[in-house]
Structure 1
Amino acid sequence: MIVQPDNPHDPQAAALLQQSHALMQSLFPAEANHFLSLDALAAPGITFFTAREGSVLLGTGALAAKAAYGEVKSMFTAADARGKGVARAILDRIEVEARARGLPLLLLETGTGLDAAHRLYRRAGFVPRGPFGDYDEGPYSLFFEKRL
């Protein structure tokens, strides 16, 4: 498996991100969905990653570099690739990128009920915290941080 920077407008990446967005829209009300559009994922300050085995796209994730921290965004693994370490490999690559940029902290917002994601973040050393940036406290969001 290779995890590397990629283009969110790549047809395979765009299709997987659309699956992610559809899942989030089916689970949470519109005001609780904080996913980034394809254009936002291609903007300066965002490094978008994909995990692939050969030509098969397995998952996505992104690092949004802020002034004092990095934010983990757009973590999603294809259904048939789950349980194979894809998300952990992407998260590890995001952490490497954040460290290379000198960011002291990784933050993320995730939805309630996404238990596999919560386990992943905790196993990777993330701990619960309160809202940050433009996020508000709400019934559908959980927040995590990891000091680098």
Structure 2
Amino acid sequence: MTTLKRSNSKNLDFIALVKLLDADLKLRDGDDHGFYAQYNGIENLSFVVLAYSNNAPIGCGAIKAYNDNTMEIKRMYVASQERGKGIASKILKELEIWAAEQNYSSCILETGLRQPEAIALYKKKWLRYYSQLRTI
């Protein structure tokens, strides 16, 4: 059975899961990883959701204020052996509920093109695709 817990970025289980996420992204991103990593800090994330199975941490996600009306979804991850069980959907739903409780009306996220599982989940749930933003 999967249980969810609300926490913050100081949670040791969250920190451990983010290390696994970063290792996965480093493989997927290749030479681009250093560029993307600068946007993935976890300091001061006050809204973190953790997923547990048999008291073991198996997934996470976070939200942070993007503007006055919008929260940005950050650091979504589910352990590879736990994927395909609806855990990411549960984490997303809890993050959306938490954002609404904080009086935010929408959520946004950014994901890489080398993350097809994430793209498929977000399209299935609610994602509207916008082209990649780049600073020139």
Pairwise TM-score range, normalised by the shorter structure: 0.7 to 0.9
- Give the count of matched residue pairs: 129
For the 8 Å contact 1:61–1:76, the answer to whether it is kept is yes
Structure 1 or 2: larger helix share? 2
Query: Is 2:41 the counterpart of 1:36?
Result: yes
CA distance in 1, matches of 2:123, 2:93: 13
- TM-score, normalisation: structure 2: 0.84
Percent same amino acid among aligned pairs? 22
Report the secondary structure of 2:120's partner residue: helix
What's the offset of the Cα at 1:137?
2.2
> Residue 102 of structure 1 aligns with which residue?
103
CA distance in 2, matches of 1:70, 1:7: 15
Gaps of 5+ in 2: none
Gaps of 5+ in 1: 139-148
What's the offset of the Cα at 1:130?
4.5
What's the offset of the Cα at 1:14?
1.9
Residues 7-86 of structure 1 aligned to structure 2 (within 5 Å): 7-28=8-29, 29=32, 30-33=34-37, 34-37=39-42, 40=43, 43=44, 46-66=46-66, 67-86=68-87
- Give a deviation string over 1:82-106, Cα, whole Å, max 9, x none: 1111111000001111111221221
CA distance in 2, matches of 1:124, 1:25: 26
Report the secondary structure of 1:25's partner residue: helix
CA distance in 1, matches of 2:73, 2:8: 17
- TM-score, normalisation: structure 1: 0.78
For the 8 Å contact 2:28–2:115, the answer to whether it is kept is no
Q: Which amino acid aligns with 1:63?
A: I
What's the offset of the Cα at 1:124?
1.0
- Give a deviation string over 1:59-91, Cα, whole Å, max 9, x none: 000011232210000000011111111111000
- Give a deviation string over 1:23-46, Cα, whole Å, max 9, x none: 222222211232123xx1xx26x3
Structure 1 or 2: larger strand share? 1
For the 8 Å contact 1:130–1:137, the answer to whether it is kept is no
